[in-house]
Structure 1
């Protein structure tokens, strides 16, 4: 089969889908990737994929502006003639599905997360839901990454019930993210891994850090992730610089390999507002690191409170600070238990092979049907 994979960045394909692509190639499928060009595009091509560049702004939500994507994807799909198209992330899911429907090409969509529009009740949210409802009528299958998102779509009648299925996020490569021997830092080290936008709870993390420093908690508070001031909810550079200059946080910049930073931390924190299945938490848990995350869909499926970490209340810096202080005060044996439990949870529920096999089975079904 000729399989097209469509995402909002080549970076996303290379970092999160390459094992799946290799599995497709091993079965003899011809893989075409469709995404904007970035520094990872050439690596995808070198892996044997046929890449097709597309213009796509992953930052904002402007349905009028984004509707031009339908035409662009339509012409790409018409030229490539894939047997099936796999869409990931919001814009490919919506606009790619509409384009594919005009050509009669079957699609499998993956709702990686609902995005900010579902956190608000306004005209943009209403338009987004309408677009989902229209486009998802044409989807042959829609994978969701947690049961809360699936239920929301069904309750709002945004997707036919016969088309839905669930996956454990994008899964985690258990061989790549392995535990290292337990070693507690002399000064307890918290690590937030996230793009610097408000939806990830970065402001709450900063507020919690300030509260802890004010109470005399002596710890390292680190942030690893890209600055994105042009994003609609991006944090401005001067604000981030003030955090750095004041010593509130230790900013680690960006990296192509997070494993060393995770292994050097004592606890990974993500106070996000909502997630599909947060990749950073999967990576941390697979590496046997305790986690603190928000008690919201996506996060609370990865973190079981007082089992492999702590859950805190949404947008509550006081509660986050309390959970961070509690974590830093735990004995080594409790931290080890959290790490061990997290790794076991990843092995049982989030192994990447579970995701790959489910996709391969779906493709096999389509092949037999055609």
Structure 2
């Protein structure tokens, strides 16, 4: 006789009961067996009530008996070079403050050699852990493996503070923090990312899934979410991805103004306009190239340079054949990735970042600290980092013609470039110090 088909509603009830049991494990271990519904749900497994029996698995015993180590800090990130450029001073400060500091990140990257980045991180005193977590997807099997590796690492280290940086580490790390009942979790939203900017049916589906994952992760009771601009924060709160009281605003990661200082003399030759960023569509690379064509058609003597690595396999990345065609055409130069950005920026006369949106552009802070005038988009994360009309000219996103006109204005007026560069450095030195960013994060750890 054929078994009757189970209804969706009944299946949903069974899943909810399963989730209730899983999420109540930690609560039961710290109480005298729980009360009411929680006690009944855990009565099946004595280990869930803090009682060890031979039938319980070893990992359950570890999970139930070991508490997080309060002064152990684990950074979770999917890009070693991003850690170096954005988080390294914080890691160094955490070690100096007495935290047992660890960093879990991929030792290998498809587009860049990470050896120098890993050595720089080790020099801070942090312990490194290889984690197969990349910006681009591995497919379901690869992503499940990455999630499992995060789970096993956190179960072994029991960090008192888990600091997750960017989309995947935030979602996976948040799920693991919930499951293991870790201590403080800091979720650093560095920007909305390609999934929120891209268009099309696939992008809409991914946005739906990512929002659901964010909603489950960011509501973790011991978590706090750090945003770099108020627009992104309001978007998440209005979409009910997290309560406002579990969020804080820390504008930018700061910049070392002594390291990024102006050139003693202006670089020789025609004006050089530099776009320092990963070669992604959402960074405005195509608009930059089109603006270069417009300027060349007007017989304006200028060098247009792309500085940044190209991950051709990543969604939203510039295609290799397209990049080589631009260089062969002579419309732009591509210098590749630079690990010495202070010296690289001092070769430029103007910095241009026509990004569609950012979390809070560190590139613009570094350019301003170097005393360079800026042309950037009137978009969240870009306009927040500059003084419109004083240190930078703002243009509409995705508008190559407006971009070319703003660049032409600065190319033709060296005195305006000097005034805007000086004003930008003054603003950054006063408002965006490394000490401010470090102090704000250490306060979150101690809360």
One fold, TM greater than 0.5? yes
- Counterparts of 1:348 and 1:61, CA distance in 2: 43
1:70-81 equivalent positions in 2, closer than 5 A: 70-81=147-158
Residue 319 in 1 paired to residue 402 in 2? yes
Distance 1:286 1:308 in 2: 11
Residue 194 of structure 1 corresponds to 277
Q: Which residue of 2 aligns with 1:362?
A: 444
Deviation at 1:189, TM superposition (A): 1.1
TM-score of the superposed pair, with normalisation by structure 2: 0.78
In the alignment, is the contact (CA less than 8 A) between 1:60 and 1:232 conserved in 2?
no
Please list, as runs of the form range in 1=range in 2, the aligned pairs for 1:338-349 lying within 5 A after superposition: 338-349=420-431
| C-alpha displacement of 1:349 | 2.0
Q: Which residue of 1 aligns with 2:340?
A: 257
Give the TM-score, by structure 1 length: 0.94
Aligned-CA RMSD value: 1.7
Counterpart contact for 1:304–1:311, Cα < 8 Å: no
Rounded Cα–Cα distance in structure 2 between residues aligned with 1:339 and 1:125: 38
Contact 2:137 2:143 in 1 (8 A): no
Q: Which residue among 13, 28, 31 is the counterpart of 2:101?
A: 31
Where do residues 165-176 of structure 1 align in structure 2 (5 Å cutoff)?
165-176=248-259
**Partner-residue secondary structure (3-state), 1:28:** coil
Secondary structure of 2:336 counterpart? coil
Alpha-carbon offset, residue 47 of structure 1:
3.0
Distance (Å, rounded) in 2 between the aligned partners of 1:94 and 1:250: 37
1:284 aligns with 2:361: no
The residue matched to 1:48 in structure 2 has which SS? coil
Superimposed CA distance per residue, residues 181-233 of structure 1 (whole angstroms, 9 cap, x where no aligned partner): 35264411100111111111100100110011011111111111112211111
Equivalent residue, structure 1, for 2:205: 123
Bigger shift: residues 45-54 or 202-211 = 45-54
- How many residues align? The count is 364
1:1-370 matches, cutoff 5 A: 1-37=71-107, 38-39=114-115, 40-60=117-137, 66-105=143-182, 106-119=184-197, 120=199, 122-138=204-220, 140-181=223-264, 183=266, 185-330=268-413, 332-365=414-447
Greater Cα radius of gyration, structure 1 or 2: 2
Alpha-carbon separation, structure 1, partners of 2:81 and 2:254? 17
Cα offsets for 1:143-191 (capped at 9, x unmatched): 1011111111111111111111111222111221122335264411100
Q: 2:191 & 2:387 partners in 1: Cα distance?
A: 20
Partner Cα distance (2:259, 2:325) in 1? 35
- Segments of structure 1 that go 5 or more residues without pairing to the other structure are 366-370
**1:28-62, Cα deviation, whole Å (9 max, x unpaired):** 11101110113222432343211111111212496
Structure 1 position 15, deviation (Å): 2.7
Q: Are the structure 2 counterparts of residues 285 and 63 from structure 1 closer, same or farther at C-alpha, using a change threshold of 3 Å?
A: farther
TM-fit CA distance, 1:328: 0.8
Give the gaps of 5 or more residues in structure 2: 1-70, 108-113
Contact 1:147 1:166 in 2 (8 A): yes
Q: Is the 8 A contact 2:79 2:134 kept in 1?
A: no
Verify the 8 A CA contact 1:146 1:276 in the aligned structure 2.
yes
Counterparts of 1:247 and 1:195 in 2: how far apart (Å)?
20
| 1:274 Cα deviation after fit | 1.0
Q: Give CA-to-partner distance per residue, 1:234-276, whole Å, 9 cap, x none.
A: 1121211111111111221222111122111110011111100
State the secondary structure of the residue aligned to 2:225: strand
